[in-house]
Amino acid sequence: MRSPASQASSSQLAGEDAIMSSQASPSIQATPQPPPLSAMDQNPPSGSLSAAPSVPSGSQSPPLLSIATLAQLRVGCKVWVSKDHDYRVAELLSIHTKKGEPVFYVHYRDFNKRLDEWVTAPRLDLSRPVEWPRPEKPKKAPASAASKNSKNSKDTPLARDRKIKRSRVPAKIAKAAQVARARGKENIEVGLVRDDGDPFLDGLTPGTTNNGTPMTSTPSEDVDAKDTDLMDLDDMQPETTDGLQPENYSREEEIEKLRTSGSMTQNAHEVARVRNFMKVQFGQHEIEPWYFSPYPIELTEDECLYICEFCLSYYGSIKQFQRHRVKCQLQHPPGNEIYRDENVSFFEIDGRRQRTWCRNLCLLSKLFLDHKTLYYDVDPFLFYCMTRRDELGHHLVGYFSKEKESAEQYNVACILTLPQYQRLGYGKLLIDFSYELSKKEGKLGSPEKPLSDLGLLSYRAYWSDTIIELLADEDRDVKETTIEEIATVTSMTTQDVLHTLQTLNMLKYYRGQHIICLTNGVLEYREKLQKRRRRKLDPQKLQWKPPVFTPAQLRFAW
């Protein structure tokens, strides 16, 4: 969650959650002159303009362009729209009539969804060709049994034998090999070396093996949905429920399955693509939401949503909200206060005991988290809320949720800092608190993957700062260390530590062993960190014991 919106869109990395401030895009007083038309724009394809051009089903022709009128535009068209004193290509997601004039909800190409907005007709440049949506691909008819038999009859016995041997490789073997490779890297001992221009270190090469070949690194688990181009999809093999590779395998179908399944699944309904509130009144702050949130549809008739900052109840009318504020007696989150210092406090809330409050919290966070899907079933989670105190009570700053029992040992499921408190250091404070809880539990923790775009930025910055401060601490006087020792001190997983060292180009190979090299650039960065005024937690003020749940308390089928 960040500011301004244009900077957030270019960064494109979370989380979970994370952490920038939202600013409304500046209003345009006068429509700027469109840039000169290109050769393609000056000579649009000929054809009738009475209807959108069509494409034969299954064809892979380039995008269809043609001049269109305002009445011919429909959902899915891509047009040029005035944005920040320039023209950009945007897709029409919704078309409505407001006060007798058409308004269009647009998504700008190569921009984050948080910049989507309603625009009026004068901001559209219809002198340029409009790109029409492609028709849906026809579904493939299932192959008949006769064709399968004829295909199998052409296979030779040797080919069938090879196919069976290749297809019956259990997935567990490949997974075990991957884990073994990862453990092999985790247990490497590395020497701690300072790169001060010593010619003795001139032979160091980052990321190489003892024979000079490039060192292959294990892909990090915190790859964002936008970073899928870093993975080789040709090497990804689909698996069936019994661990066997299916015979009829389509690469296009597998890629489409990866994009539309898992925790990154988006709401298939078109209504979820359109932001349903223009502004939210939260306490003394008026916030512009970023994404759709499944609040009751009757509240969407008004552009503003009123939310109580203490009990998180929501209202569509200012009179109803004012009547509620007179009656509301809550002044802090309904949980146990487990940490307090002169700046912030932390409360622990059980989702099973405070279902209504936690559901309202999830609905609020969905306004600023695109990939968040949980907002109803809150029983399996604990919520840790950070607040600021004044004479009126505890004001919510941010929170993170955590599974009561996590098979993958995740210490954070979802993390959010409200936009009005972003870029003030509270995001790293939330992350730091999650690792303090992991230290109390005696476990290594990591956030749930994949992270959101801004969440990934925040975690990478936190991991880098923590590891650099640890290794460059002169009071420790450590000559050698290992990846596991760093993970134990920081409560980070070895995968996160190894990934951060590789990202900072600090892990090098020299004379048969891996070493961590503190370069001059890293040392200069540490000096800048020491000059910053950073918010820090005092572990001595944390009054908390890891909760223990009985099997009956972990049954959530109610």
Q: Are 289 and 279 in contact (CB under 8 A)?
A: yes
Burial of 65 (0-12, 13-18, 19+ CB in 10 A): middle
Asked if residues 343 and 355 have their Cβ atoms less than 8 Å apart, the reply is no
**H-helix or E-strand containing 194?**
strand 189-194
Of 416, 414, 348, which Cα lies nearest the Cα of 384?
Answer: 348
**Catalytic entry in 16, 448, 484, 524:** 448
Contact of 369 with 357, CB cutoff 8 Å? no
Q: Is 328 left (phi over 0), alpha (psi -120 to 50) or beta?
A: beta
Residue 200 tokens read as: 């003795």
Contact of 300 with 276, CB cutoff 8 Å = yes
Residue ranges in 304-452 assigned as alpha helix (H): 318-327, 355-366, 426-441
C-alpha dihedral, 321 to 326 to 332 to 335, nearest 10°? -90
In 263-342, where does DSSP find H-type helix?
318-327
63-67 own/partner pairs: CB under 8 Å, 24+ apart: 63/131, 63/132, 63/134, 64/131, 64/132, 64/134, 65/40, 65/129, 65/130, 65/131, 65/132, 66/129, 66/130, 66/132, 67/126, 67/127, 67/129, 67/130
Could you count the other beta carbons within 10 Å of the beta carbon of residue 506? Answer: 24
Angle in degrees, CA 158, 160, 164, rounded to 5: 120
Provide the 10 A C-beta neighbour count for residue 186: 17
**What angle in degrees, to the nearest 10, is found between the helix axes of 171-186 and 483-490?**
90
Query: CA 20 to CA 2: how far, in whole Å?
Result: 2
Neighbour-count burial of 136, counting CB atoms closer than 10 A to its CB (0-12 exposed, 13-18 middle, 19+ buried)? exposed
Cβ contact 119:103 at 8 Å: yes
Q: From 195, 202, 186, select the one nearest 514 (Cα to Cα).
A: 186
> Are 21 and 2 a contacting pair, CB within 8 Å?
yes
Measured from the Cβ of residue 34, the count of other Cβ atoms closer than 10 Å reads 14
Is 303 noted as a catalytic residue in this protein? no
| Structure tokens given for 425 | 């250091």
Contact (Cβ atoms closer than 8 angstroms) between residue 106 and residue 119: yes
- Dist. CA 334–CA 330, nearest whole Å: 8
Distance between CA atoms of 169 and 191, rounded to whole angstroms? 39
What residues are annotated to the active site? 448
